[in-house]
Structure 1
Amino acid sequence: MNIKTASNDFPIHPLLKERWSPRAFNNRFIEPDKIRSLFEAARWAPSASNIQPWYFIVGLKGDDTYEQITGTLVEFNLLWATSAPLLFVAVANKIGKKGEINPTAQYDLGQAVAHLTFQAMEEGLYVHQMGGFDPLLAKTIFGIPDTHEAMTVVAVGYIGKPESLHKNLVASETSPRERRKAKDSVFSSKFNTPSSIF
């Protein structure tokens, strides 16, 4: 069993059991049809009032967009993210259909990226989402309108070897995944009141 395989307490889909966020990526380019399937999966995510407030700025290793995306990353993420063959900025449209603030835009964008992540696992790819980037710089570089917000940068690729990473990153790459128990996140009646379903 892979060290990163989830030690789940209850049955879950095998792709979720094996999903994790590596930092070591193989330099192998991703087939275009697989890339299209990732964003097709994102397209079919649910969203409030079907607004679909998600947009993606995609860079393939070697192109200008990829280099511009790497320019927004914090130093820590630069240690590993440039090994991924695909990077994209996930952008949320904060405005609804009538010009009002859309309070679920970020939530819906997250669902779209989650759908993309699930599809990536089906395609033999892995996804690592990063909050460590400069959203204001991304806004400037890519001309993102004030009505939209860059929320995260995402690395996608085939998994690589841990020994290819900076020495400070190897331990996290080779240690088991951990999560708090589901029962500690699920409540009834009031917040922090355990649910009887567990």
Structure 2
Amino acid sequence: METVSQKQKKAETAFEILAPLKSRWSPRVFDEKPIPQNEINRLFEAARWAASSYNRQPWRFIYAKKGSKAYDKMIDCMSEFNQKWAKNAPLLIFTAYKEKTDEGDDNFHALHDLGLSLGNMSMQAESMNIAMHHMAGIDWKKAQNVFDVPEGFHVTTAIALGYYGGDLNKLPEDLREQETGERERKPHSEFVFEGSWKDRS
């Protein structure tokens, strides 16, 4: 079995950062063993304690374990590309956020808060040798209907989760090449501005 380890994909950072941030990456294959319920609970507990504007905690999550009807429905809501590999994951999550505050105003910061909760979850997962692959490629309108999401909440992304160490041979050849490729990020000069925004595009 050919696998890709966290060590192999460790980021070559420009400055020293925390080890879990360097080792985190988004595989498309996972170890087949299921994630126990107590481990799933720990992931959501990490998300629970993320910072949020006015402590509104607008994030919501729907999850399903491989082998369940809900899991198959989640796969069916994904883009054709994501369906090719997401079926390798022992666990799937759909994320959503509450669109308005309790006062009825648009919650401008809800997506920011959802992102913070997923950042927490990602670092908790990393400490447990669990990989998370976040996806934008889902039919959110279909997901809203299939999973009975109430009005006022917006399905946003999907996440495939599983322990690191999946068999690369379960992927099509083109995806295997991506899986073993080097990780890259934009340099600070393209997104960090001191004092004022400077056009460096």
TM range (shorter): over 0.9
2: distance between equivalents of 1:138 and 1:115?
Answer: 24
Task: Report the counterpart of residue 184 of structure 2 in structure 1.
Answer: 178
SS in 1 for 2:161: strand
CA distance in 1, matches of 2:198, 2:132: 32
Matches within 5 A, 1:7-18: 7-18=12-23
1:81 Cα offset (Å) = 0.2
Partner SS for 1:79: helix
How many aligned positions are there?
Answer: 194
- 1:162 aligned partner: 168
Residue 29 (1) aligns with residue 45 (2): no
Given the two structures, how large is their TM-score scaled by the length of structure 1? 0.94
- Structure 2 counterpart of 1:15, one-letter code: P
1:140 aligned counterpart, secondary structure: helix
- Partner of 2:114 in structure 1? 109
User: What is aligned with 1:187?
Assistant: 193
Q: TM-score, normalised by structure 2?
A: 0.93
Residue segments in structure 1 that go unaligned for 5+ positions in a row: none
In structure 2, what is the Cα distance between the partners aligned to 1:144 and 1:163?
36
Displacement over 4 Å in runs of 4+: none
Q: Secondary structure at the match of 2:113?
A: helix
Aligned sequence identity (%): 36
| Partner SS for 2:17 | coil
C-alpha RMSD of the superposition: 1.4
Any idea what the Cα deviations from partners look like across 1:75-120, whole Å, max 9, x if unmatched?
1001100110000100110111211110011111111111111100
Q: CA deviation at 1:188?
A: 1.7
Contact persistence 1:135–1:150 (CA under 8 A): yes
Q: Which digits, 9 at most, give the CA deviation of each residue in 1:24-47, with x for residues without a partner?
A: 112110122111100000000111
- Distance, in Å, in 1 between the alignment partners of 2:119 and 2:82 is 21
